[in-house]
Amino acid sequence: MAALKEIAADMRELCPAALLIQYANPMSINCWASTELGVETVGLCHSVQHTSKMLARELDVPYEEVTFDSAGVNHTAWFTTFRRGSQDLLPRIREVMTARHLEAAATGLASDELYAGGNERVRTELMRLTGYFHTESSHHASEYWPWFRKDAALVGEYLPARWDYYEICSAHSPDHNVDDYVDGSVRDGLHPSEEYGAYIIDSAVTGTRRVIYGNVANRGLVDNLPADCCVEVACVVDRLGVRPVRYGSLPAACAALNTVQVNVQRLAVRAALDGDRDLVYAAVALDPLSGALLTLPRIREMVDRMFAAERPWLGDLA
């Protein structure tokens, strides 16, 4: 947060009308804090793109024929419509994902042993709870709730394949030969990935209208989430910048789960901006996974150890 405060101070002085494009986690907390610091920002994730494509593959429908609505909080947003033309695909999503990832597990085999598409048991359980499919991967989703990581055996049951983000990122590296990678890009041309950042910049320069999903200040976009929190919703981008689209109200169970995360985020933002260490303990204690595994004294001990380890980077909280 110390670094974010410095960036915001520089922007307010040097480019007060500029847009801060954020890719750093914790996305919702960073974007919420940036708004509090007086900076216009959008946080970008690829969970909506990845999951919508995955669901189209699961249903064996062409992705270019699919339309959908998604809203919520980053890493815990929800597909509340999913259509192919006039056909509502939500019932098929519920049927197909339940058969492949819950009924498969009930046979005694992990779903990825029965289905080559991989294990999505966590997200399918969340869908059974709320009625709607979760935007973030099962590995990430399992970190936000108290039901999937109570002990090593349960982790192995829900997530049989370990997900190492460092290894995943390393695999994207151009064989550690940056010169060859740059030479190839110069020779073959640059091509945008599915990440939204380049498209936002292109739309701002050329005026090309696009729709992306961004993390922005709520400001009345999602009625049944707090007005000051950060939400992930559809946004129109063009020469006028990033303009969030009002969503309305989330289904009740989806909003309830999002509110749990918003409560944690609110305390974390206030702790960071105000330098209030007591609110750090409260934020960690209210995290559902912390509460599922630890007592309050153990949480305080853990946070103290984290403070000690991270002291050089904590700014006002050190």
Model confidence over 286-317: pLDDT tens digits?
Answer: 999 999 999 999 999 999 999 999 998 888 78
CB under 8 Å to 144, separation ≥6 — which residues?
Answer: 75, 76, 136, 261, 288, 289
The pLDDT, as a whole number, for residue 315 is: 80
The pLDDT, as a whole number, for residue 115 is: 46
- 197: number of CA atoms within 13 Å, CB side? 13
What is the rounded CA–CA span in Å between residue 143 and residue 264?
13
Domain residue limits, the chain: 47-166, 278-318
The pLDDT, as a whole number, for residue 114 is: 46
Structure tokens at 37: 């610091």
Percentage of the residues of the chain whose pLDDT score is greater than 90: 77
What is the rounded CA–CA span in Å between residue 135 and residue 263?
20
Instruction: Give me the chain's average pLDDT, please.
Output: 91
What is the rounded CA–CA span in Å between residue 36 and residue 8?
10
How far apart, in Å, are the Cα atoms of 305 and each of 96, 150, 264, 284, 302?
A: 44, 21, 20, 13, 5
- Name the packing angle between helices 2-14 and 27-36 (round to 10°): 40
Active site residues: 46
- Contacts for 60-68: CB closer than 8 Å, 24+ residues apart: 61/89
Nearest to 255 by CA among 98, 73, 93, 118: 73
What is the rounded CA–CA span in Å between residue 244 and residue 227?
14
What is the rounded CA–CA span in Å between residue 187 and residue 181?
10
The pLDDT, as a whole number, for residue 116 is: 43
Report, as ranges of residue numbers, the positions in the chain whose pLDDT lies below 50: 111-112, 114-117
Q: Which residues pair with 217 in a beta bridge?
A: 230
Q: Which residues pair with 71 in a beta bridge?
A: 78
Residue 90's CB is within 10 A of a number of other CB atoms, namely 18
Type of residue found at 77? A
pTM of the model as a whole: 0.90
End-to-end CA distance of the chain: 12
